[in-house]
Amino acid sequence: MTALTRNPPDYNSGNAIRAFLQDRGMGIRKKWGQHFLVNPRARSLLAEALEIRNGDGVFEIGPGIGAMTSLLLEKGARVRAFEIDPGFSALLRELFSGAAAEGLFSLVQGDVLKTWEQNDDGSPYLLGNLPYTIAAVLVGSLIEKGRFFRRMAITVQKEVASRMAAKPGGGDYSSISVLCASVYDIKPLMILKAASFYPPPKVDSAALLFTRRDGEQNRALFAPLVRALFASRRKTAANNLEHFLSVSATMYPGASGIRPRDRAERLLLESGIAPKERAENLDYRAFNALADALERDGKRQ
């Protein structure tokens, strides 16, 4: 254990964690998806996947009682941790007071969905064993807001991982798949059986590594268009786009007098997308082309 950490529990043992929390009058809260990763090999693989070097900044989401935090600090990272549980937050401040004094650990207490933007120190890496309730929302909102990381190593429910990493054409392919693919190459790292956690969750999890691709940029129109084209999966791209253009005419105006249906078909054809195509068959490049076409169209009027 690093000298920067004070008296932590044995992070590999559910019993030790339970006793450690009981001693402090603390419990495990289901509503915050608190399942501790007690599998040491999995923790090492996750931390190593980031390939951090001394002094690199890491956003850690949901540090819990610090198992991953201490690993990251051992690797020389500067950790900015986001934790919602006030009891865990107090514990983390105590456990990592030495690292905090050296400027290597800082804690942001509260809901990360509401706190990350105001507390963004520009760290290039992100690590998190993410609770089910926030995983897709957090990753989606970071991407939509243009907050990209060099690498992100995350653990999520298996089913959420399948949607994030899905390729066009499959049933799992959805708006979050396109958003993720528009910025990152995604590699599955491992499947984590329920027994890797304490307490064990009802479903298996999967760890994913996101690596940012060079040169890809997300623009203002990309995410709204992705959401619009997936709004009704059974509808064609033209139908979904027509609806989007009708309801958001003031935000995304085109030349006056053109019906939304004609505009939708023209924009799709300009982007190389057949109007009868469905969003589930379009890759992120097609959405990029459509965002470009809509942008050009806005300037034409």
Residue 186 to residue 209: CA distance in whole angstroms: 6
Residue 38 to residue 193: CA distance in whole angstroms: 11
The angle at the Cα of 113, spanning 103 to 151, to the nearest 5 degrees, equals 60
Query: Minimum distance between the CB of residue 33 and ligand SAM, rounded to whole angstroms?
Result: 5
Report whether the peptide linkage leading into residue 168 is cis, meaning its omega lies within 30 degrees of zero: no
Query: Minimum distance between the CB of residue 175 and ligand SAM, rounded to whole angstroms?
Result: 21
Q: Which is nearer to ligand SAM, 84 or 268 (CB)?
A: 84
Residue 95 to residue 73: CA distance in whole angstroms: 12
Residue 145 to residue 166: CA distance in whole angstroms: 22
Query: Minimum distance between the CB of residue 35 and ligand SAM, rounded to whole angstroms?
Result: 5
Q: Which is nearer to ligand SAM, 91 or 294 (CB)?
A: 91
Footprint of ligand SAM (CB under 6 A): 32-37, 62-64, 67-68, 82-85, 88, 111-113, 129, 131, 134
Dump the DSSP string for 190-238: EEE-GGGEESPPSS-EEEEEEEEPTT----TTHHHHHHHHTSSTTS-HH
Q: Which is nearer to ligand SAM, 127 or 282 (CB)?
A: 127
Token digits of residue 31: 């509503």
Query: Minimum distance between the CB of residue 255 and ligand SAM, rounded to whole angstroms?
Result: 44
Q: Which is nearer to ligand SAM, 88 or 230 (CB)?
A: 88
The count of residues in the chain is: 301
Looking at beta carbons, which residue is closest to ligand SAM?
62
Q: Which is nearer to ligand SAM, 109 or 281 (CB)?
A: 109
Query: Minimum distance between the CB of residue 17 and ligand SAM, rounded to whole angstroms?
Result: 9
